[in-house]
Structure 1
Amino acid sequence: MINILSYICIGIGIFFWFWGTFPLMGKRSVLFKLHSLSVADTLGSILIVFGLLLKKPSEWPLLLLAIITLAIWNTMLGYVLAFCSGEGDHNEPQS
């Protein structure tokens, strides 16, 4: 039963990876595309690592660290890329 649940989590994670790439082909703004991709990638990666956690519970410290790192890193990377993709000079004072 655990193997089936593990494969389901991994499969859903891979589905999220592919699902996040479809908005890249649309005609929406870069920020919308980036947000869709980063959310789907983060959820997919966390589900894949969770599926691995179900298969190898003896490795829980490393896999839990991977889940936490994915959540923090992908979130911060999305914010940084969104900030850098904005127009204009961000160092100018606003008047």
Structure 2
Amino acid sequence: MVEFLSYFCMVVGLVFWFWGTWPLLGPRSVLFKLHTLSVADILGSIAIVFGLLLKIPKELPLLLLALLSLAIWNTILGYVLAYCARRSINQ
């Protein structure tokens, strides 16, 4: 059961990655595209790391550090990219 849940989380993570990439092809604004991509990327990455945590629980400290780093890094990177995109649009 844990094995199935682990693979399910990893597949959900991959679905989030592709779901966030798909709007890049649309005609929406750059900020909308960046927001969609960053949210889907962080959710997908967290789902994949959680699936790995279920698969190899002895690596708990390392995978928790990875989850924390993903949450902080992706959030800050999303804000920086949005700020740069907004600034280049206004010039």
Is the structural similarity TM-score above 0.5?
Answer: yes
Backbone CA RMSD of aligned residues? 0.9
| Structure 2 residue ranges without an equivalent (≥5) | none
Aligned length: 89
Q: How far apart are the structure 2 equivalents of 1:27 and 1:4?
A: 38
Shift of 1:15: 0.5
Q: Which has the larger radius of gyration?
A: 1
| Structure 1 residue ranges without an equivalent (≥5) | 90-95
Identify the residue that residue 70 of structure 1 maps to in structure 2: 70
Identify the residue that residue 49 of structure 1 maps to in structure 2: 49
| Moved segments of 4+, more than 2 Å | none
- Partner of 2:27, secondary structure, is coil
Equivalent position amino acid for 1:44 in 2: G
Instruction: Output the TM-score relative to the length of structure 1.
Output: 0.91
Q: How far apart are the structure 1 equivalents of 2:34 and 2:11?
A: 23
Identity of aligned residues (%): 69
